Amino acid sequence: MASHTHLASLCLSFFLLVTLTCGVGAATSSPNGTKIGQGYRLISIEETSDGGLIGHLQVKKKNKIYGPDIQLLQLYVKHETDNRLRVHITDAEKQRWEVPYNLLPREQPPALKQTIGRSRKNPITVSEYAGSELTFSYTANPFSFAVKRKSNGQVLFDSSWDDTDAFGPLVFKDQYLEISTKLPKDASLYGLGENTQPHGIKLYPNDPYTLYTTDISAINLNADLYGSHPVYMDLRNVGGEPFAHAVLLLNSNGMDVFYRGTSLTYKVIGGVFDFYFFSGPTPLNVVDQYTSLIGRPAPMPYWSFGFHQCRWGYHNLSVIEEVVDSYNKAQIPLDVIWNDDDHMDGKKDFTVNPVNYPRPKLLAFLDKIHRIGMHYIVIIDPGIAVNASYGVYQRGMANDVFIKYDGDPFMAQVWPGAVYFPDFLNPKTVSWWGDEIRRFHELLPVDGLWIDMNEISNFCSGKCTIPKGKQCPTGTGPGWICCLDCKNITKTRWDDPPYKINASGIQAPIGYKTIATSAVHYNGVLEYDAHSIYGFSQSVATHKGLQGLQGKRPFILSRSTYVGSGKYAAHWTGDNKGTWEDLRYSISTMLNFGIFGVPMVGSDICGFYPAPTEELCNRWIEVGAFYPFSRDHANYYSPRQELYQWESVAESARNALGMRYKLLPYLYTLNYEAHISGAPIARPLFFSFPSYTACYGTSTQFLLGKGLMISPVVEQGKTQVNALFPPGTWYSLPNPTSFITSKNGVNVNLNAPLHVVNVHLYQNIILPMQQGGLLSKQARMTPFTLLVTFPAGATEGEALGNLYLDDDELPEMKLGSGSSTYVDFYASLKQGSVKIWSQVQEGKFALDKGWIIEKISVLGLEGNAAPSSLELDGVPLVGGSDMEVHTSDQKYSPEGQEDYEQKATMVDVSGLKIPVGKNFAMTWKMGVSH
């Protein structure tokens, strides 16, 4: 039920694809192709008591294109931190809509002044306001501003213009805001989502970028999808030195962003200009700075990094039981089983179907899977069925929690038929929602909630009523056909704004298949303004509701997201297709969400609909096993596609998920890093190699963390993959005796038969792994191996790694609770001596769990003689009964380059029993061959 994106939507999707190019909107600024007005002039500027600047701008010449100009604007500029600059522009005389400060906490700009002071009658033409990393400068008439990097003067944003430019000056009307920035030709831009980008991860000049949360399937290219993230990262290489920064326009109104390669123009249909500039200079710095403003990613429970299985159409409990048994029989790992709406009574939220999912049997099933460590998650849609005998509806009406239209709850249609939508901007709604979650949990102890259709999705458009004398829905047919009696609403300027954003890729009316934009939220807030934060506000309310239950760490999966959603929820990329193209697109979308501060992300493995081929499903699990959020999910109308349905796919799943389950401690440690610094779990190659421009556009390979690279097959019929290897040494994870090394980076054809996925580990890393298993709970308790990598044949080197372990049921993910341990691992190679050691913080938790390091493998050493003088914590290790030392030759071995002579040695020390929770130091001397 993930959406009404089935047969009907296939037609819509085709229509959207065909008409996409027709509705992009002109790149110039007004209907007749002329620039709009002459901008504003600065009439006063002064310092504020908090060290910022406040100024006033007056319109130079009024016009009526897209409505009257706002005559007087307030400009507020502040260096909020060493690396973050804010530029806020609003109506100087009247409060305007902004993303609510209680929903996304941040500093408030100064209150509007009733009288406008003229501290400088003739302001100087150019002035500068410098912080520690960034400098803000402005020109007074016509007003424009620039943001520069202080260290080298690099211009990051420049809103000035002249007659030769394809864009014009600042425009600020009630329902139309426009501003542009110049860009250097060689800037690589990423972000501005959510959309499916056919050209890969880099923004592509003249592709449309529209931001407005919409339920059209992810198969629609270059269209506004489920989330709105008006932020981009800009990566430039200047004389061999990389610099990254990011620009956020914190605005929830619908917008078109026109990227022309040398400029970028925002056209927004409301709100304010609230820009934040993040100075970087590395991609990781940028995401750290960005998430320090919008909220750090939520800590995810350990089990959520296991494999998940879902399907719309598990008609009864016995099917779910059979799926769980079949995964076990096929020896494919499975941690979480999901229900789409099949478990519900009449598709109503917070209910259980008494016939197909009888509660006593369902509770017994949950008890059984919970005992072994499996988990269970169900779907919740925001639409509450209008049904007088339904308790959730009764309590909602009694608490007055729904979005209104003309004073009554706004009626829409989703799966149960006529529904009202809760207004999560209302504090009473948040309390009521939390209470419904609590009641449901008492009925059915689920382990997380999946909030879907929250863009917000509606099968009807306009003002609707329940038809008299006919059943709606009929109970037959697909269920997404509108059966209410509806009238179009176009009477207000909110429902029919003067500027048409490129909604759905066809300039659809912005109230199409959603709530009417003239509907009203709490405190008179218009849906027109709040539309794109609906899913975000529901995530916040759901998180609050789940946090109150049993004191456990919440797990929420949300389809619709906004700036800050990652603090509360994971995301999947919505309704995709079982095609090779969709497999490729999934990688770019996943990488973008890491930049957006939503690192727990993945796509429906094998595609949501219609039906994947066996070969595609093989290749998709080889990618999907390395998504941060790894779930197979299919449509009601698709044939079954669980990974055990084909023996060949089962084999690929055992290989790829087998690797994932060994990597769980690494993934979980990346989850901790994301939570404390925003660092994405899955990253584009340029995050680790920002100087290596060849990887700036790489969209079908990705990194987990700093140096674990996945190079999957994403094309039909291929048994090789041409992979880009940034400079340095890369070791094959499945076969560490094989490596690839280069001084300047290299493209290599890798063998990739059907069941093989190429995963490589970079030099100078210490990777903690465990032995895997069919459940994360079991895999978690197996002994550890440390994989230590030096550059191939190195005589000197250093390597680093870390490990975070905790009680993943606790809501907080932090050190100092007594329920977590953090270990830094170090290794050095110097003058023929190898040393590996650890520094442990809060060791008690790991010691109590009894975790041990059983094996240490060191890769890339020079020479081939056995190590000597092996010591652990200063005590010689003399061939104890369990301990073994083994050396292997390593060689450079891509296809067709066997004559490459470079060799190295791998040393394995196994049979160890080193407690993870204690500092240790192991040393040995390398024998050198002559």
Q: From CA 763, how far away is CA 700, in angstroms rounded?
A: 21
* Nearest alpha-carbon partner for 130 in 153, 109, 107, 99: 153
DSSP-assigned letter for residue 48:
-
Residue 163 designated active-site: no
What is d(CA 518, CA 511) in angstroms, rounded to the nearest whole number?
Answer: 9
Task: Name residue 11's amino acid.
Answer: C
Task: Give 820-880 as a DSSP string.
Answer: EEEEEEEEEEETTEEEEEEEEESTHHHHHHT-EEEEEEEEEES--EEEEEEEETTEE----
Question: For residue 924, how many other CB atoms are within 10 A of its CB?
Answer: 22
Active site residue 575: yes
**CA neighbor of 178 nearest in space, from 55, 89, 50, 279:** 89
Strand order in the sheet with 134-139: 126-130, 134-139, 144-149, 155-158
Residue type, 405: Y
| Catalytic-residue membership of 345 | no
Structure tokens at 154: 């690099």
Using CA atoms, how far residue 827 sits from 108, 184, 250, in Å, is 47, 42, 44
Instruction: Note whether 605 and 583 are within 8 A (CB).
Output: no
d(Cα 610, Cα 596) in Å, to the nearest integer?
A: 29
Task: Work out the angle at residue 821's Cα, subtended by the Cα atoms of residues 820 and 822, and round it to the nearest 5 degrees.
Answer: 130
Options 455, 604, 806, 808, the catalytic residue: 455
Which of 274, 335, 452, 862 is an active site residue?
A: 452
**Consecutive H or E run containing 789:** strand 784-794
Q: How far, rounded to the nearest angstrom, does the alpha carbon of residue 676 sit from its chain's CA centroid?
A: 16
- Output helix, strand, coil percentages for the chain, rounded to the nearest 5: 20, 30, 45
Tell me the three state secondary structure of residue 652.
Answer: helix
Own/partner pairs, 472-480, CB within 8 angstroms, 24+ separation: 472/413, 472/417, 472/418, 473/413, 473/417, 478/4, 478/6, 478/7, 478/8, 479/4, 479/415, 480/4, 480/6, 480/8, 480/9
In b/e form, how buried is each residue of 557-585, taking b as 16+ CB within 10 angstroms? bbbbbbbbbbbbbbbbbbbbbbbbebbbb
The C-alpha atoms of residue 24 and residue 30 are separated, in whole angstroms, by 14
Eight-state DSSP code of residue 504: G
Residue 405 CA to residue 463 CA, distance in Å, equals: 8
Beta-carbon contacts of residue 695 (< 8 Å; ≥ 6 apart): 684, 685, 686, 689, 724, 726, 745
The token duo for 4 is 């009404």
For residue 544, the tally of other CB atoms under 10 A from its CB is 16
Reported as half-sphere exposure (CB side, CA atoms, 13 A), residue 794 has a value of 23
Q: Given the residues 98, 349, 436, 575, select the one marked as catalytic.
A: 575
Report the helix count and the strand count for the chain, using DSSP H and E.
14, 52
Residue spans of alpha helices (H) in 330-467: 359-372, 391-399, 427-443
592 token code pair = 């973008």
What the block records as the tokens of 323 is 């799926």
Q: In whole angstroms, give the CA distance from residue 4 to residue 414.
A: 9
Q: How many C-beta atoms lie closer than 10 Å to residue 829's C-beta?
A: 23
By annotation, the residues acting in catalysis are 452, 455, 575
